[in-house]
Structure 1
Amino acid sequence: MFPPMLTAYRYRLSLTDEQAQRCVEYGAICRAVWNTALDQRRQVLRRWRRGQDVPFCGYRLQAAQLVEAKAEEEWLRVAPSHILQQTLKDLDFACRRHGTFKVRWRAKGRWKPSFRFPDGPRIAVERLGRKHGRVKLPKLGWVRFRWSRAPQGTIRSATVSLDGRHWYVSLLCEDGEHTPGIHAVPGSAAGVDRGVAVAVATSDGDLFDRTFQTPKEHERERRLRRRLSRRCRGSGNRARTKAALSALTGRVRARRADFCAQTAAVLCAKNAVVVLERLRIANMTASAKGTVEMPGRNVRAKAGLNQAILSKGWHGFKLACENKARRTGTRVVEVDAAYTSQTCHPCGHVDPKSRESQASFRCTVCGHRENADVNAAKNTLVRGWAEIPLPG
């Protein structure tokens, strides 16, 4: 039996001025705790590498030191204790998963303020009308929010975050549902190729794509970024320009996330196995500038390709498939992506010249013609069959 699933419900908050000020203070304190604790972990690790005998710096040690620091520092007592402890837990998880020196600092200019209330029983939700409800959060009291759907199940935690001009709350609920042991259509499978011309192509011949940013929005973003570069740091004009830019890019991110969620829902509902290419997106979108001694080549072209890859949301689509698979019992498999776009699916011949263009594939041996992305998706599915024998 699979454990009960956790589902997040996100709502836009309507904070009072006093509540908004408290949220800003809580976010700043959590950022300071994160950076201080990360710096302490790195210093201890450096001393340990030099051969010095130092105690292990983990969550338990830092949580005890946080209690002592709150007794001495008055500004730490402004924020609730459990959100600071949760910050240390999140840092401990990040260091264990990625490595202490790979965890990023929470810079004031780049990080979006957020904090989490982990005590679910102390969080209550009430509906006020057709469009509004309210949630009770520790030290913030009752906070109104826009009611879009009712949260289902038991609330485990609540995360408050700032996105653009608005604050949001994400309620993590345990709804009691379990992942099905068997898919509704057992034996069905689909290979997926993620591309630049078309976001998602499947081995069934389906092409999924959407325009996430209109030409006018792209031009407005370009103007706002230029305007932001001319504003003085710390000025009100820079803050307003940054908020306008964040609101614009936030709409694009919302469209991309909606597309990934809907496409993943269609694929997982129809297929018991979804085969994806194993892509190292961070390496694929690395800059080509190089160094002073060895400058890069075709830097502008590589920058345009990087932007095109990131704009299609490849990683977000993978996460959406894994999320939807919990509801349908679909298995998401990743296979090696080498030469899938240069291999002819019927005859198996590999030749870069067979890829005539971004959308056209014609085998130089057997003459097979097909959409290049669909052909790559079929090759991906074949490799998935080799790793997971399908019933029937």
Structure 2
Amino acid sequence: MSREAMERRQFGHRARLVLTREESARIDAQAHAARAMWNQLHDLWSMTPKCQRSLTRMDEVLRQARRDIDWYAVLPAQAAQAVLKTYVQAWRNCWEGRADEPSFKARFRTPMAVDIPQGRDLNIVRVHRRWGMVQLPKVGRVRFRWTKDLPVGKRADAENRITGARLVKDVLGWHIAFRIQATEAVPAPHTGPEVGIDAGITVPLALSDGNHQHHGQWLTEKEQAKLLRLEQRAARRKAHRKPGEHTSCRLANTYDQAARLRARAKRRHQDWQHQTTTAIAEQYGTVVVEQLQIANMVTSARGTIEQPGTNVAQKSGLNRAIHAEAWGRTVTMLTYKCARYGGILAKVPAPGTSQRCSACGFTTPGSRESQALFVCRNTGCGWSGNADHNAARNILHLYRTGHALVPAAGRAVVRRAHRVKPPTAR
């Protein structure tokens, strides 16, 4: 195949590390040194006049600090340079309006991470069907869980290789996130059918053709019972803590156990999302979703003291359910997976898709009887069915009638027809 039919793709892969107590302590020390170095750079940047701020000056101060402060030596030199480059890039992102200003990194609220900028230092080898070995600077060779074929050994070349990695710690332990560069064939245009998708709570992903995607609980009954016991235990121990007193080791241990269970549920949810979105991208050529403003949907209904809100508890429960479904992450996965398989992801305006009947095209008050049931109150129609399925049909119809959101000049422009006609037979 010619080079014109090839494209370069960059993506990441995260794997779990298997560390001894000594190895984990070494990486912890590197992460704390990287965080302290960031804070030192932030203080230096704040105290330096604007006319004297430069990457060269910051680099000189960083090198001098590594010579003067002994415990900075636990951090590899390349990882220290990565901290400097990341900090300068954070300011560039702020100046260009892509992010807020860099801030101080607190010890207990900042995720622990160490960057490995160069992939050639990793020396990755697969030793078993399930395990691989990787060389970590100033730590040694450690095992990691092999769940994906990586471009190492004879499979690695200038266009297919690992360009670097990052060590990240969460409640489940240390993980390594590889940065992978690969050259793949440009996919042919997907000739599959069109489908509209409505993200909901009763039906997680409702498809316009009725191929709905469901999932169960992310924790088993025993795990849910254990999580409830841990939350109750934490509440009791917190009640005995005096104001201003530090968190006890027992209370912190309880928090950690509950966090590990929630992290396990999140990983199971992400696994379901990956498998479901991959199947959708493989089957359908055009996927249509709503342009949801999730931040506005989960605003609190508490109100103010002068004007208190109504149904605050119900709205809080709905907000938690929306956050738990992670609709934005699903759309992100569909975006890059549809492109990878040659498909198209389109977005349509969200207002009215849940209240309008997909059979007659009219919006009649009282048709949305509940979260799961839609019954058209229009005289002469009377269509009834799942409310999420009805919304998915409307989403696909909006795309077919030219209501897709088209990016132009950095913003979304809506192509609107004069009126919405009833959908054709499907």
Give the alignment's TM-score, normalised by structure 2: 0.79
Look up the equivalent residue of 1:70 and give its one-letter code: R
Distance 1:263 1:67, change over 3 A: same
Residue of structure 2 in register with 1:154 after alignment: 161
Alpha-carbon distance, 1:305 to partner: 0.7
Look up the equivalent residue of 1:189 and give its one-letter code: E
| Mapping 1:6-85, distance limit 5 Å | 6-35=10-39, 37=41, 54-55=50-51, 62-63=58-59, 65-85=61-81
| Mapping 1:1-392, distance limit 5 Å | 3-35=7-39, 37=41, 54-55=50-51, 62-63=58-59, 65-91=61-87, 92-93=89-90, 95=94, 96=96, 98-101=98-101, 106-152=105-151, 153-183=160-190, 185=191, 188-211=193-216, 212-229=218-235, 230=237, 233=246, 235-292=248-305, 294-365=307-378, 366-385=381-400, 386=402, 387=404
Task: Answer yes or no: is the 8 Å Cα contact 1:29–1:79 preserved in 2.
Answer: yes
Q: CA separation in 2, counterparts of 1:107 and 1:223?
A: 30
**Alignment RMSD (CA, Å):** 3.0
Q: Give unpaired runs (5+ residues) of structure 2.
A: 152-159, 407-426
Give the alignment's TM-score, normalised by structure 1: 0.85
Task: Answer yes or no: is the 8 Å Cα contact 1:13–1:144 preserved in 2.
Answer: yes
Alpha-carbon distance, 1:379 to partner: 1.4
Q: Give unpaired runs (5+ residues) of structure 1.
A: 48-52
Alpha-carbon distance, 1:277 to partner: 1.1
Distance 1:35 1:3, change over 3 A: farther
Task: Answer yes or no: is the 8 Å Cα contact 2:365–2:377 preserved in 1.
Answer: no
Look up the equivalent residue of 1:222 and give its one-letter code: L
Alpha-carbon distance, 1:75 to partner: 3.3
Instruction: Mark the structure with the bigger radius of gyration.
Output: 2
Distance 1:306 1:148, change over 3 A: same
Distance 1:290 1:178, change over 3 A: farther
Look up the equivalent residue of 1:15 and give its one-letter code: L
Q: CA separation in 2, counterparts of 1:97 and 1:115?
A: 26
1:322-369 deviation digits (Å, cap 9, x = unpaired): 232243022222222111100112322123411112121122212222
Task: Answer yes or no: is the 8 Å Cα contact 2:16–2:145 preserved in 1.
Answer: yes
SS at structure 2 position matched to 1:207: coil
Task: Answer yes or no: is the 8 Å Cα contact 2:164–2:180 preserved in 1.
Answer: yes
Look up the equivalent residue of 1:228 and give its one-letter code: A
Alpha-carbon distance, 1:17 to partner: 2.5
Look up the equivalent residue of 1:223 and give its one-letter code: R
- Count how many residue pairs are aligned between Structure 1 and Structure 2: 378
Task: Answer yes or no: is the 8 Å Cα contact 1:256–1:313 preserved in 2.
Answer: no
Task: Answer yes or no: is the 8 Å Cα contact 2:74–2:138 preserved in 1.
Answer: no
Task: Answer yes or no: is the 8 Å Cα contact 1:277–1:337 preserved in 2.
Answer: yes
Distance 1:235 1:88, change over 3 A: farther
